[in-house]
Amino acid sequence: MNARAALAATFFPFHGGVHPPEHKDESSGSPIVAGPIPATLVVPLHQSIGNMAKALVNVGDVVLKGQMIAAADGTVSAAVHAPTSGRIVAISPQRVPHPSGLLEYCITLESDGADRWIERTRFDWRNADGRAIRDYLRDMGVVGLGGAVFPSHLKIGGAKDGLDTLVINAAECEPFITCDDRLMRERASQIVEGIKILQQLLQAREVLIGVEDNKPEAVDAMRAAIAGCEFKIDVVVVPTLYPSGGAKQLIKLLTNKEVPSGVRSTDLGVQCFNVATVYTIYRAIEHGEPVISRVVTLTGNVERPGNVDALIGTPIADLLAFAGNKADSDSYIYGGPMMGFEIPGTDVGLSKAGNCIIAKSSGLFPPKPAEMPCIRCGKCADACPAELQPMDLYWFGKSKNFGKAQERNLFDCIECGACAYVCPSNIQLVDYFRFSKSEIWAAEKSKKAADQARERHEFRQFREEREKREKAERLAAKAAQKHEAAASSADPADAERAAKIKAAMERAAAKKAEAAAQAGESAAPADATAAPVTEAVAAPVAEAAPVSQLDPEKAERIRAAMEKRAAEKAEQEAMSPEEKAAREAEKKAKIEAAMAAAAAKKAAKAAEAAKAQGDQADGSGA
Ligand code: SF4
Ligand code: SF4
């Protein structure tokens, strides 16, 4: 029995998966070293999913290491901090590590070389309520470091009766990447302290740490560190199979629970945190250190592959120089070779999502052969961990039949690339899936904008009508007061004025009755003089004011919509951040479903029309 087999423990295989060459040995043998303090750091403001953080500093400000330089904006957002001490020299759109190559706001910091910290204090989380803990983690910039950068505070709390299983994702299944492996080997006890905090915050009944069997030293270190834990905790060794580090795949591997499409793992009693994120939670809570650095693997075509604790914002060029970039490197992958992407340039600053930088050369990564037609071999479906039919998704994406792609669960695709890896026709399937997703999101965005514009217009109409009505009522009340005062006065001048007012009112009422009769209205009395005085007072005033043009039924509909919205707002305000995020996800799913249905309907109509045309052509040909 080899060492790996000896480590194997209970697990529940998921569908599909592939086993690309690991390339872990190049970097896994070197201990983590502190990265360089570059002369200039480019810190992206958008370092978590959700809203970009809001800058708190100005150009020229002097800042200390760990000082918050941008605050979270809204619930789904996280703060950003100065990675070292120095001076802010720019706040401007710059290139960031993103496949689009689009510019995003970054804070450029000129380092003073002193690396002076702000004052750091431990956070007394045991005496803090859930909200205070969430706010603290948000303000310390804690996000998922596995690559998804989901703000961690949104994953704290929410499960009222506690969690069945807290899963710690230490699988690190992508080839080349070894930063989590080294972190576990070298800082296992600090990771376990972080796990203890999470276990208590989430009231987790058990903790399972999933590690692939190609990291036996990490497994030993973690097993030694969990000894003495007072709760149920285990290190589960799973076979090396990509993508076992996908959250859904790891949850299946460790708990045998399948997370269905559109369902959150917390609904099944499971929550998953990356091992590096847990480490930062520990540093933030026990040492008052915000997330200003991360361990990143520098590998590929470099002289000294290894793992570096690098400051966020360090230009990739500085990291490559640190690792001894070779002259024939031609491009650079940010992340792993399966799910990563090529960076637009080495001037971009390291972000919290950056777990690996791979220098590419034509020797290490030969050019991809040209795409050939799909031969429907089904290998992609066999490899897909999400149990999708990638060849169908490819076809629907290529023919821009996005509704059908959605119907076939396009959004369950985790873009792992396993399908493209096995495709004998060299089809870059994930590119087609990303294209389809972006098109669908763009369509949804414009539909949402149109809906919002329509709603705004209707609300405005309603508000204007209401204001007109209220004004008319106010004027009527005022006129009635005046009339009564004049009628009861002993002064002959007042009596004369009252008579004039009455006559004017009667004339106006008659005019109104005449207009109403012409318009076919029957409600107004034909004989205005016979109307009671109070009605006669109100009539001319109401006539003087603009008459509501809004259909009462429509007004009622708008009023009901406004009341519904107010109730929803109140309900939302009472929700926890996680519940809000879940609500948003639910809304999104509904919108997606509606779009899919609309697209399907459109496609059916088009097919019908085509058939009719065909029939017609057949008929005319006969
Ligand atoms: S693996 Fe490639 S060729 Fe085979 S069915 Fe899938 S897309 Fe087509
Ligand atoms: S990229 Fe998407 S479709 Fe392809 S194997 Fe991964 S999950 Fe399946």
Q: Is the peptide bond before 243 cis (omega within 30 degrees of 0)?
A: yes
| Two tokens, residue 621 | 């040909």
Residues annotated in the binding site, as ranges?
374, 377, 380, 384, 413, 416, 419, 423
Nearest CA to ligand 2 atom 2: 413
CA 252, 257, 263, 268: dihedral to nearest 10 degrees? Answer: -130
Residue 521 pLDDT greater than 80, yes or no: no
Confidence of residue 550 (pLDDT cuts 50, 70, 90): low
Q: Evaluate: CB of 391 within 6 angstroms of ligand 1.
A: yes
Q: Look at residue 535 in the predicted model and tell me its pLDDT.
A: 37
Please say if the pLDDT value at position 517 is more than 90. no
Tell me the CA–centroid distance for residue 413 and ligand 2, in Å.
Answer: 5
Separation between Cα atoms, residue 28 and residue 25, nearest integer Å:
5
Contact 388, 395 (CB under 8 A): no
Mean pLDDT, rounded, for 125-131: 92
Which tokens is 300 given?
A: 């590929």
Could you count the other beta carbons within 10 Å of the beta carbon of residue 189? 13
What mean pLDDT is predicted for residues 496-513? 71
* pLDDT tier for residue 232 given thresholds of 50, 70 and 90: very high
By the 8 A CB rule, do 153 and 577 touch?
yes
Tokens of 143: 């996000």
Does the C-beta of 394 come closer than 6 Å to ligand 1? yes
How long a stretch of residues is the chain? 622
- Per DSSP, helices labelled H in 384-428 are 390-398, 402-407, 418-422
Q: In the predicted model, what is the mean pLDDT of residues 145-174?
A: 91
pLDDT-derived band of residue 479, with 50, 70 and 90 as boundaries? confident
The answer to whether the beta carbons of residues 180 and 276 sit under 8 Å apart is yes
Cα–Cα dist 242/18, whole Å: 5
* Residues 49, 67 contacting (CB under 8 angstroms): no
Phi, psi (degrees; rounded to nearest 5) at 289 = -100, 120
Rounded distance between C-alpha atoms, residue 35 and residue 356, angstroms = 14
* Residue closest by Cα to atom 5 of ligand 2: 384
Calculate mean pLDDT across residues 356-363: 96
pLDDT at position 614 over 60: no
Looking from the CA of residue 393, the nearest atom of ligand 2 is 3
- Whether the CB-CB separation of 87 and 70 falls below 8 Å is answered with no
Closest ligand 1 atom, residue 378 Cα:
5
Inter-residue contact 168 to 208 (CB < 8 Å): yes
Q: What is the pLDDT of residue 502?
A: 72
**Cα 402 to ligand 1 centre (Å):** 19
| pLDDT higher than 70, residue 207 | yes
Q: Is the CB of 414 under 6 A from ligand 2?
A: yes
- In angstroms, rounded to a whole number, what is the distance separating the alpha carbons of residues 86 and 46? 21
Q: Report residue 383 as tokens.
A: 């490899």
> Average pLDDT, stretch 56-80?
97
Assess contact for 45 and 105: CB atoms under 8 A: yes
User: 77 vs 159, which has greater pLDDT?
Assistant: 77
For residue 36, the Cα-to-chain-centroid distance in whole angstroms is: 32
Residues 293-350 pLDDT 10s: 999 999 999 999 999 999 999 999 999 999 999 999 999 999 999 999 999 999 999 9
Residue 457: what pLDDT?
86
Mean pLDDT across the chain: 86
DSSP characters over 63-81: E-BT-EEEE--SSS---EE
Residue 577 has pLDDT above 90, yes or no: no
Q: Under DSSP, is residue 82 helix (H, G, I), strand (E, B) or coil?
A: coil
Lookup: tokens for 486:
């004049």
The alpha carbon of 240 and the centre of ligand 1 are apart by a number of angstroms equal to 24
Model pLDDT, residue 555: 67
pLDDT tens sequence across 10-54: 889 999 999 999 999 999 999 999 999 999 999 999 999 999 999
Q: Whose CA is nearest to atom 4 of ligand 2?
A: 419
- Strands across the sheet with 68-71, in order? 54-55, 68-71, 80-81
Q: Has this prediction a pTM greater than 0.85?
A: no
Residue 278 has pLDDT above 60, yes or no: yes
Mean pLDDT across 550-579:
67
Would the pLDDT of 507 be above 80? no
- Residue partners of 308: CB distance under 8 A and separation at least 6: 32, 33, 34, 35, 295, 296, 298, 319, 322, 323
End-to-end alpha carbon distance in the chain: 75
d(CA 413, CA 621): 46
Sheet of 232-238, strands arranged across: 232-238, 204-212, 163-170, 270-274
Q: Which helix (H) or strand (E) holds 210?
A: strand 204-212
Q: Which amino acids are annotated as binding site for [4Fe-4S] cluster, given as ranges?
A: 374, 377, 380, 384, 413, 416, 419, 423
* 106 beta partners: 44, 92
- Residue pair 275/250 in contact by the 8 Å Cβ criterion: no
18 lines ligand 1 (CB under 6 A): no
pLDDT at 390 over 50: yes
What is the C-alpha to C-alpha distance for residues 233 and 220, in angstroms, rounded to an integer?
14
- H/E run at residue 170: strand 163-170
Per-residue pLDDT, averaged over 234-260, amounts to 96
Calculate mean pLDDT across residues 587-600: 68
Asked if 160 contacts 309 with a C-beta cutoff of 8 angstroms, the reply is no
Q: Residue 198's closest CA among 160, 239, 166?
A: 166
Q: In angstroms, what is the span from residue 429 Cα to ligand 2's centroid?
A: 8
Q: What is the pLDDT of residues 364-379, one digit of tens each?
A: 999 989 999 999 999 9
Q: Measure the CA–CA gap between 508 and 515, rounded to whole angstroms.
A: 10
Does ligand 1 have an atom closer than 6 angstroms to the CB of 427? yes
Query: Does the beta carbon of 378 sit less than 6 angstroms from any atom of ligand 1?
Result: yes
Q: How far apart are CA 136 and CA 72, in angstroms?
A: 11
Q: Are 316 and 304 contacting, i.e. CB atoms less than 8 angstroms apart?
A: no
With bands split at pLDDT 50, 70 and 90, how would you rate the model's confidence at 4?
Answer: very low
pLDDT at 609: 62
Query: CB neighbours of 447 closer than 8 A, spacing ≥ 6?
Result: 591, 595
DSSP 8-state assignment for residue 303: S
Q: Residue 388: CB within 6 Å of ligand 2?
A: yes
- Give the distance (Å) from ligand 1 centre to CA of residue 223: 42
Identify the weakest region by mean pLDDT among 467-471, 484-488, 534-538.
534-538
Determine whether the shortest distance from the Cβ of 384 to ligand 1 is under 6 A: no
User: How much of the chain exceeds pLDDT 90, in percent?
Assistant: 66
Using the Cα atoms of residue 565, residue 570, residue 572 and residue 573 in order, give the sign of their dihedral: positive
Smallest CA separation from ligand 1 atom 4, residue = 377
pLDDT of residue 519: 52
In the structure, what pLDDT confidence band is assigned to residue 537 with cuts at 50, 70 and 90? very low
Q: Is any atom of ligand 1 closer than 6 Å to the C-beta of 48?
A: no
Pocket test for ligand 2, best of 413, 427, 430 (most atoms within 8 A of CB): 413
Task: Quote the CA–CA distance of 472 and 32 in Å, as a whole number.
Answer: 76
Report the b/e string of 284-315 with b at 16+ CB within 10 A.
bbeebbbbbbbbbbbbbbbeebbbbebbbbbb
151 vs 578: CA distance, rounded Å: 11
Please give the residue that has the higher pLDDT: either 132 or 517. Answer: 132
Question: What are 87's two structure tokens?
Answer: 């001076």
What proportion of the chain, given as a percentage, has pLDDT over 70?
A: 80
DSSP string, 247-301: HHHHHHHHH-----TT--GGGGTEEEEEHHHHHHHHHHHHH---S-EEEEEEEES
Ligand 2 lined by 423 (C-beta under 6 Å): no
Check whether 99 has a pLDDT greater than 70.
yes
Q: Are strands 270-274 and 163-170 parallel, antiparallel or unpaired?
A: parallel
Q: Residue whose CA is closest, atom 1 of ligand 1?
A: 423
Q: Does position 142 have pLDDT exceeding 70, yes or no? A: yes
pLDDT value at residue 448: 86
What average pLDDT does range 172-191 have in this prediction? 98
pLDDT, one tens digit per residue, over 415-444 is 999 999 999 999 999 999 999 999 999 998
